[in-house]
Chains A and B, each alone.
Chain A
Amino acid sequence: MTLLLEQKQKIPQTQIIILSLLTVCLLVFGTGLSSAYAAEQSIQSKAQKLKADVVELNRALFELEEELLYPADTQVALFLSVKTKNKFLLDSVEIKIDGKIATTYLYTESEIKALEQGGIQRLYMGNISSGPHKLTAVFNGQGANDHYFRKDKTFNFEKSNRSKFIEIGLSDSTGVEPEFKFTEWH
């Protein structure tokens, strides 16, 4: 009877030991996993805050840079926009201001797609003196019926003491080549 009781008492003790070991194992394993997860989460949250800070810093730095390098009284910026229903494919562009090459640009497929989806590219930003100026834009590309085109257009503008923004808009035309339009914003 005593022996039986002892045995009866021993069984739960063994079970308790096994259960305790299992619990300890689970706790250790679980803690290990959760601490790794917590560390990952902590890094992610720190990285997110840092990304936001760097974005804000970049905004402020671009403003400062513009103020420093391109003050309003000499600033000129050229933009390019495209409006087409796959009628032409822009390949490259050359920009001259007063006969001097300001910039040339060769387009990638992704840039063309971005332009076609409403994106506007800042082609050039520089400094010019006040007074009259001549802007020449040369476009190379493929128009309707695989027709290769090289088209240039000149635009005269007056620079005042305010920033000068000029948008060059390319759009579909009734012919095989696209149309070009200059829009002055200031």
Chain B
Amino acid sequence: MTKLLSPHYMAGVFAVLISFASVAKDTVLVNNTATSPLPERLAKGMMLFELHQDNFFDAIVRSPNLSSDLVVFDLAHSEFSFGLTEQAKIRYKKLSQTSNSKTKAASYFQLGVMAYQQSDWGSALQWFKKAEKNIDKKQLPELLYYKANVYIHLDKQSTAAQILGQMNPGSWAAYAYYNLAMSYAAMDSEPTRSIISLRVAEALNPKDTAPLVELKDQTSLSAGYLAVQVEDYDKALSFLNQVRVDSDLAPKALYMHGVANAGKEQYRAAIQSWYRVKKYPLIDQGVADAFLAIPYAYDKEGYSSKAISTYLEAISVFDKETRNIDKVIQAVTEKGASHVFFESSSLDDIEWFLSDSIATNTPKVAYFKLIMSDSRLHALAKQSIELEMLYQNLLLWEYNLSIYDDMLRDRIRGYKQRTKKINTAKRKKQIAHISVETKRLEHELSEAGNGQNLLAVSAGRTLRRFESVDALTKRLEGLRTTLTPRQFQDLNVRLTRLQGLVKWEAKEQYERNVRLSKETLVSLNKEIERYEQGLKKFELLISRGPKKLETLKSRVSSFKATVKKRKSDVHRIRAEQNKMLTEQVIELLSNKKSEFVAHHETAQQRLAHLYEFVAMTQYSIKNKASKGGGK
């Protein structure tokens, strides 16, 4: 009883309770699943990381839910680039009402670009005018480019030229002057204005990126072409010589180079240029013309037999290419343009690409370039690829969701099995037992206080001394027979004094011990209450656990259904889109085929005329010879 009431014993009960409670704590699965929202800086940065790599879809998906103008502007830009024009337009219109003048101007400009792309020249001009005042200096050249283009479309070339006059050298100025030159070329019968504009375009072009180097080639080719038209062949040759041999425009430039030489009646030089064109794919612009021009030049030079053989070669090449186009049209009809040109296909055999006899075997890439050079087909193909990307994205989600669904099913099953093993009733019983013990200790402490029971509340050294005095008293009683009465009495007196001393010490500590015991009991009660609550929470959590998992599982199942639905929608629209793309590609290829058929016929006709001419020449020579012989 003495021991039960001591503060040490109470501390022991406390320790047991803590250790037990800690087991309970470990058992409780505090599963905080809701993830914290990403800090603004990180969310914005993640979006920009995708945006600056032109991953517009990912940029939109990663865009944070912030109202900051810059974030909204970047989001609108991503949406516009990904083809979500209506959403982008709404955002830009909203941004155009903000107080920040730069953002406002940038939004006006984007709205202008949208109107421009829809050929709504009036609206585009209005937006550009609004944007011009406060637009960022870096964006000003782009704005002036679009503005000048609008005036070109409105046949106001002089206004466009005035706008371009304000532009500093750079890529936008170079493109703008090129467009102006082309519009002059379409209008004027005399190409001086166009050539001057092209020269300005070239002078303003920094030529520091691949597209700008390509623009330089285009500028030189166009200037050469215009010079040939006015029969200024030397100037034409100087322009055409500037087109790079590895440029996509090289076959056309080489063909024109030959034309310029032929214009100067330098047929040998012309034949040399045209022979160089023969190594390019026949479908490229200028190659078929070169095949027809070579025999013409031989004929002009008086090499009739060479002319006949090259005409025959041309006829054979056109015939083969016509059959080749037929083969491509058949493949496109059967498998669709998207499959033939953008996915793997049966035409994708290695021979197609490795063949160096390009004149008779146009590689797939040449057809691909031909299709991509048509702006309408380019837009359709881009959308086809985007839809394919969406389909693949949904396919991946479908796969992942099925895995998550299985995982959650297993988790729910495992959870139920584990919770069966956790015996909460046993824990509750233990806590109830400790609670009863505490109540008893409280009662005994109160009784000890009433009876001033010094021993009951003594602890540590004092308690051990009490125990030692008790033991010595018992031992003295055992020695009573062996000791003299005087010795016994003397020792007994000493022991009584010792007991008095210990009691005095206990009395000294009594108040403090009672206070400590009371404090410990109060803390113990609090702890018991806390762990009772913890156990209740734990039981609640266990009961909620499967519910939470089941909710997640039902969410996964619902998403699975949505993904399946969207996947089927994408598949349907992709099919419609591919059908349209296929029809238009077939139309383009059929037109190309007609061109080759026409070239084929031209070559045959010219060959027939040449045969006729040769036959007549031979006949007249023979005639002259026979007449001479007669004489």
> Which residues of A are at the interface with B, using a C-beta cutoff of 8 A?
39-40, 43-44, 46-48, 50-55, 57-68, 70-73, 75, 79, 81, 110-111, 113-115, 117-122, 161-163, 165, 167, 185-186
A43 touches B566 (CB 8 A): no
User: Among the listed stretches B80-88, B269-277, B333-341, which one makes contact with chain A, having 4 or more residues with CB under 8 Å of it?
Assistant: B80-88
Choose among A40, A51, A65 the residue that contacts B390 (Cβ–Cβ < 8 A).
A51
User: How close is B393's CB to chain A, nearest CB, in angstroms?
Assistant: 7
Contact status B49-A119, CB under 8 Å: yes
Complex: A43 Cα to B258 Cα, angstroms: 46
Other 4 A-B pairs with CB < 8 A, given A54-B390, A68-B404, A119-B48:
A48-B85, A75-B35, A162-B32, A185-B42
* A73–B29 CA distance with the chains assembled, in angstroms: 11
**Cβ contact within 8 Å between A62 and B53:** no
Query: When chains A and B are docked, how far (Å) is the Cα of A163 from the Cα of B36?
Result: 6
Task: Tell me the dominant secondary structure on chain B's binding face.
Answer: helix
Q: Which residues in window 33-62 of B have CB below 8 A to A? A: 33-36, 38-39, 41-42, 44-46, 48-53, 57, 60-61
The residues of B that contact A65 with a CB separation of less than 8 Å are 400, 404
Across the interface, do A44 and B383 meet the contact criterion of CB distance under 8 Å?
yes
- Given A43-B573, A120-B46, do A162 and B36 touch, yes or no (CB 8 Å)? yes
Shortest CB-to-CB span from A20 to chain B, Å, is: 29
Contacting B61 at CB < 8 Å: which of A55, A64, A165?
Answer: A55
A-B contact pairs, 26 of them (CB 8 A): A43-B577, A46-B576, A47-B386, A47-B387, A48-B84, A50-B390, A50-B570, A51-B386, A57-B397, A57-B559, A57-B562, A57-B563, A61-B397, A61-B401, A68-B407, A68-B552, A114-B53, A117-B48, A118-B48, A120-B44, A162-B32, A163-B36, A165-B39, A165-B42, A167-B41, A186-B39
Report the interface size for chain B: residues with CB under 8 A from the other chain: 55
B188 on interface, CB distance cutoff 8 Å? no
Contact B31 A73 (CB under 8 A): yes
Look across to chain A and name the residue whose beta carbon is closest to the beta carbon of B563.
A57
Q: How far is the CA of A150 from the CA of B52 in the complex (A)?
A: 27
> What is the CA–CA distance of A56 and B407 in the complex, to the nearest angstrom?
24
Once the chains bind, are B61 and A62 in contact (CB under 8 Å)? yes
| B1 contacts chain A at the CB level, 8 A cutoff | no
Assuming the contacts A67-B33, A71-B33, A72-B36, asked whether A122 and B46 have C-beta atoms less than 8 A apart, the reply is yes
Candidates A43, A55, A165; contact of B38 at CB < 8 Å: A165
Known: A48-B83, A62-B61. A43 touches B580 (CB 8 A): yes
Distance between Cα atoms of A118 and B47 in the complex (Å): 10
* Chain B 1-52 interface residues, beta-carbon cutoff 8 Å to A: 30-36, 38-39, 41-42, 44-46, 48-52
Given contacts A64-B555, A71-B35, contact A50 B569 (CB under 8 A): yes
| Chain A residues, CB < 8 A from B495 | none
In the complex, what residue of chain B is closest to A110 when comparing beta carbons? B53
Taking CB atoms, residues of chain B closer than 8 Å to A44 are 83, 383
With A72-B32, A186-B36 known as contacts, the answer to whether A79 contacts B42 (CB < 8 A) is: yes
Residues in B with CB closer than 8 Å to A62 are 61
Are A161 and B30 in touch, CB under 8 angstroms? yes
Question: By the criterion CB–CB under 8 Å, are B45 and A72 in contact?
Answer: no
Q: Is A51 a contact partner of B82 (Cβ separation < 8 A)?
A: yes
Contact call A79/B45, Cβ cutoff below 8 A: yes
Q: Report chain B residues within 8 Å CB of A43.
A: 383, 573, 576-577, 580
Rounded to whole angstroms, the CA-CA distance of A122 and B48 in the bound complex is 12
User: Please, which residues of chain A bring their CB within 8 A of the CB of B404?
Assistant: 64-65, 68
Nearest-CB distance from B564 to chain A (Å)?
Answer: 11
Contacts of A113 in B (CB 8 A): 52-53
